[in-house]
Amino acid sequence: MPLPFQQVWDPQDSVTIVTGASSGIGFELTRMLVDQGAHVVAVARRRERLKELANSTSRPERVHCIAGDVTEASTRAAALNVSDSLGDGRLDLLVNNAGVGAIGPFADASPERMRRVMEVNFFAPVDWTRDALPRLRSVAQNGGRPVICNIGSVLGHRAVPDKSEYCASKFALHGWNDSLRAELVGDGIGVTLVSPSTTRSEFFDSLVETEPDQKSNSIGSWPPRRVAQATLLAIKRSRSEVILSLGGKALVYADRVSPPVMNGILAKRGR
């Protein structure tokens, strides 16, 4: 349910930033935002894919491409400088979507695998949000309803074997997101957590320290466009949190009902 003080968020002429925009959820969400009148600062490592993204939209001039690593301060500064020029220092929406994964037993992985996953999936959203907050507060102080949307995972609610680094990063994101929401409610800034199950995208083509051709044995996967549609709806309706897909909801709610049963099921799966 939307919080009492919040109105429906309107994309028309909004200034937005979407990280991880060159593929998957970020690609589709950017297209939807532009189609509904937003200016989008699209951030990703692959410049050519960002150009393809812009050209695939109804209004390419509203896609402002920033190629760079989301963990680097220079990428963050470049994106915020562009958003400042578009809205006189105003920012209506920040979507922390960029992410990486890893598959394999924790004991077999190097320390660097955990650090890389945490840097991209947790510390990058924290840094982007910290730098964006003055701009978001400016919108709220002038009667707007800015939103921070963090793309989490059902694995930030219930961890599974062989994805310890990814689960750790999404649990950290979930906890930080919930605290941030409570802190910013009085400022008029909405904080939304979207928790998809497996998304059918290029995510599994860039796993950290993982053998090629690894697949995720998950149920209830959704195509990126469907996840993006649910994400935009959650943003518009000022939802605090949404868990996507039947399989994702089954995992989360079964764990809430009986953690010992889920522990046993997942232990067998791990073996």
Q: Is residue 232 part of a domain?
A: yes
Q: Is residue 53 part of a domain?
A: yes
Query: Does the annotation mark 166 as catalytic?
Result: yes
Q: If you count them, how many residues does the chain have?
A: 271
What number is the average pLDDT over the span 143-160? Answer: 95
pLDDT in tens, 15-44: 999 999 999 999 999 999 999 999 999 999
More confident residue, 201 or 117: 117
pLDDT of residue 260: 80
Q: How far apart are CA 49 and CA 194, in angstroms?
A: 24
**What pLDDT band is residue 55 in, cutting at 50, 70 and 90?**
very high
DSSP characters over 152-168: --GGGTS--TT-HHHHH
What number is the average pLDDT over the span 243-255? Answer: 79
pLDDT of residue 35: 97
pLDDT of residue 254: 76
Q: Which of 37-51, 105-119, 205-219 has the lowest mean pLDDT?
A: 205-219
More confident residue, 104 or 265: 104
Q: Is residue 244 part of a domain?
A: yes
Cα-atom radius of gyration of the chain, to the nearest Å? 18
Please count the structural domains in the chain. 1
State yes or no: pLDDT of 74 exceeds 50.
yes
What number is the average pLDDT over the span 239-259? Answer: 82
10 Å Cβ neighbour count for 105? 10
Q: Is residue 6 part of a domain?
A: no
Q: Is residue 204 part of a domain?
A: yes
Can you say whether residue 13 is alpha, beta or left, with left for phi > 0 and alpha for psi between -120 and 50 degrees? left
**What pLDDT band is residue 259 in, cutting at 50, 70 and 90?**
confident
Q: Is residue 239 part of a domain?
A: yes
Catalytic residue among 122, 166, 203, 222: 166
pLDDT of residue 216: 56
Q: Which of 133-147, 225-239, 248-262 has the lowest mean pLDDT?
A: 248-262
pLDDT of residue 1: 43
Q: How far apart are CA 162 and CA 28, in angstroms?
A: 29
What number is the average pLDDT over the span 133-149? Answer: 97
The SS3 of residue 11 is coil
List 42's β-bridge partners, or say none: 18, 65
Domain that holds residue 244: 15-270
Q: Is residue 108 part of a domain?
A: yes
Q: In degrees, to the nearest 5, what angle opens at C-alpha 30 toward C-alphas 70 and 12?
A: 120
State yes or no: pLDDT of 3 exceeds 70.
no
Asked if residue 132 lies in contact with residue 180, where contact means CB atoms within 8 angstroms, the answer is no
Q: Is residue 249 part of a domain?
A: yes
Q: Please give the structure tokens belonging to residue 214.
A: 């690894």
Q: Read off the amino acid at residue 218.
A: S
pTM given for the model: 0.89
pLDDT in tens, 152-200: 999 999 989 999 999 999 999 999 999 999 999 999 999 999 999 876 6
Tokens 């998950």, located at residue: 218
Q: What CATH number is given to the structural domain containing 66?
A: 3.40.50.720
Q: Please give the structure tokens belonging to residue 218.
A: 């998950």
Nearest to 214 by CA among 166, 181, 250: 166
pLDDT of residue 215: 57
